[in-house]
Amino acid sequence: MTHLISILVLLLKIYATKSCSGISLKTQELYALVFLTRYLDLFTDFISVYNTVMKLVFIASSLAIVWCMRMHRAVRRTYDKELDTFRHYFLIAACFVLSLILNEKFTFQEIFWAFSIYLEAVAILPQLVLLQRSGNVDNLTGQYVFFLGAYRAFYILNWIYRYITEPHFSRWIACVSGIVQTALYADFFYYYFISWKNNAKLQLPA
């Protein structure tokens, strides 16, 4: 739900303000790729209606955000292209190579699952770099990044609980990647807390 809230906040920002200023298109493209490769099991396994609907929502919403930023006449004019210069294709290549080496099972679906986990861990990097370059962060963008980071932090609590209560719990790829992903948010969380405590506008040091 926290992840879903982050997406809804971002969609609210784009559709209400007709602006994607402060949002990294490259991060959004990486997240679209994460969902498309992680949810390949939609074609092979049915878990529940809720599970299927949520997967389709994440895929559709991520593709909609990318489409708006690339194609919507008003929104695309506000894209900070000169600040969003992180070479995200290096992340894609590195994560794919890593998924071929470190995976739970060497099958097509498991390799792409591992790839999506590794890629999600670093997908926020272009966004964080863009925010650091721009300095000032508007309220909705700050809320979006906060909820996106909080979602993974809650996952770590879930893994700790499952490790204690389940005798054969083993999700080391997801756990290590989740810790890395949460660590990347540490600096942002610090400045977010400071701005909230002082009731001030969120600003990141260059």
pLDDT tens for 108-150 read 999 999 999 999 999 999 998 888 888 767 777 888 888 888 8
108-122 helix and 25-38 helix, angle to the nearest 10 degrees = 150
d(CA 61, CA 76): 17
**Contacts with 36 (C-beta within 8 Å, 6 or more apart), sequence order:** 59
| AA identity, residue 109 | Q
How confident is the model at residue 144, as a pLDDT? 83
* Residue written as token pair 């590195």: 94
Amino acid at 175: C
**CA-closest candidate to residue 62, choices 78, 39, 84:** 39
Q: 3-class secondary structure for 97-142? A: HHHHHCCCCCCHHHHHHHHHHHHHHHCCHHHHHHHHHHCECCHHHH
Q: Which two tokens stand for residue 144?
A: 């979006």
In this structure, how many other beta carbons lie within 10 angstroms of the beta carbon of residue 79? 20
Average pLDDT over residues 173-198: 77
Give the pLDDT mean for 160-184.
81
Can you tell me which residue has the tokens 């990347």? 184
Give 19-55 pLDDT, tens digit per residue.
998 899 999 999 999 999 999 999 888 989 999 999 9
Alpha helix segments (H runs only) across the chain? 2-17, 25-38, 49-71, 88-101, 108-122, 125-134, 139-165, 172-184, 186-197
pLDDT at 110: 92
Whole-number pLDDT of residue 199: 67
The whole-angstrom separation of Cα 157 and Cα 137 is 28
Cα–Cα dist 188/203, whole Å: 10
How far apart are alpha carbons 79 and 62 in whole angstroms?
A: 16
pLDDT, position 205: 65
| pLDDT for position 54 | 93
**CB-CB contact of 66 with 26 (8 Å):** no
Residue 74 is predicted with a pLDDT of 93
Average pLDDT over residues 50-70: 94
**In the structure encoding, which two tokens stand for residue 166, read together?**
């389940």
